[in-house]
Structure 1
Amino acid sequence: MTDDVQRFRLSYGDCDALGIAYFAIYYPWMERTYSSWLHGHGLRSAELAGELGAGTVGVHSEATYLAPVHVFDELTCAPVRERIGTTSYSVGFEFTRDGELVTYGRMTFACRTPEGAKTPIPQRLRELLETLRAATGS
């Protein structure tokens, strides 16, 4: 089994003038965690349409900041299963510091044919999404 989590240590460039994590840094980390999780299970985001007959497009993202995070803090980001629909799904991202949930993110993806039409989530991707641990809530 692959290691589904990513670990990050904040640097000065990740923080504002007060040394607190800048809100926008979480989005690249969510994408990196998601892409690495797919890659670790033999799929690449950019190649889904060719491999599975359907690609994904991001349609929504958000983050809730539960506790301040500071320069040199180490965070762990774990993907979790939120919602699996017919043509779209949401993946949650639990950012923890020393076991404490400090930020919770969410990305929603819609499945599209190579021509751009709505299409069901491919079975292989659905089965992989179902292996994620269920979200515990933010």
Structure 2
Amino acid sequence: MAFVYEQRVEFRDTDAAGIAHFSVFFTWMEEAEHAALRSLGLSVMPRPDRDPGGAESAIPQVTWPRVSAQCDYVRPLRFEDDVQVTVTLGKVGNKSLTYQFQFSRGEETIANGQVTVVCCSFVNGHLKSTEIPAEIATRLQTLVA
């Protein structure tokens, strides 16, 4: 099932022609990913402030650095346009995920993006890739296309 994130093109997101700057699509992909994860009770960063005895404590503390990001543009967005960012998971590996993002304005496709992330834990202050924990993989299945 897809997750849909709503966004409005703000003035700060535009170039001199009033068109959404290419780089803002990468920010929107990240915001949409974070919102999708939060909707599943997950986060992209370990949260040591969580109650160790609470419901969240059963979720392993991992983080998701990006290893690849791309975006293909079809139509422009302009200041104050509303855009829907649809998030799905394309490829799910043992240690990595590839998110697919479709940007649309109503029925119009505006752009398509893709971000690959790797599941990592902190070991002695350094990131180390690790298999996606079962509890997280189960929750992520709802985003599989």
Residue 107 of structure 1 is matched in structure 2 by: 115
Structure 2 matches for 1:76-95, cutoff 5 A? 76-95=84-103
Identity between Structure 1 and Structure 2 (%): 27
**What do the CA deviations read for 1:59-106 (whole angstroms, capped 9, x no partner)?**
111111111111121100111111101111111111100121111111
Residue 129 of structure 1 is matched in structure 2 by: 140
> Aligned Cα RMSD in Å?
2.0
With normalisation by structure 2, the TM-score equals 0.81
- For residues 29 and 66 of structure 1, the distance between their equivalents in structure 2, rounded to whole angstroms, comes to 16
1:128 CA drift (Å): 2.3
Task: Point out 4+ residue stretches in structure 1 off by more than 4 angstroms.
Answer: none
Larger Rg: 2
Q: 1:64 and 2:54 equivalent?
A: no
Residue 130 of structure 2 is matched in structure 1 by: 119
Number of residue-to-residue matches in the alignment:
132
- For residues 95 and 102 of structure 2, the distance between their equivalents in structure 1, rounded to whole angstroms, comes to 24
Paired residues of 2:40 and 2:140 also in contact (CA < 8 A)? no
- For residues 6 and 39 of structure 2, the distance between their equivalents in structure 1, rounded to whole angstroms, comes to 15
Residue 13 of structure 1 is matched in structure 2 by: 12
With normalisation by structure 1, the TM-score equals 0.85
Structure 1 residue runs of 5 or longer lacking an equivalent are none
- For residues 11 and 47 of structure 2, the distance between their equivalents in structure 1, rounded to whole angstroms, comes to 36
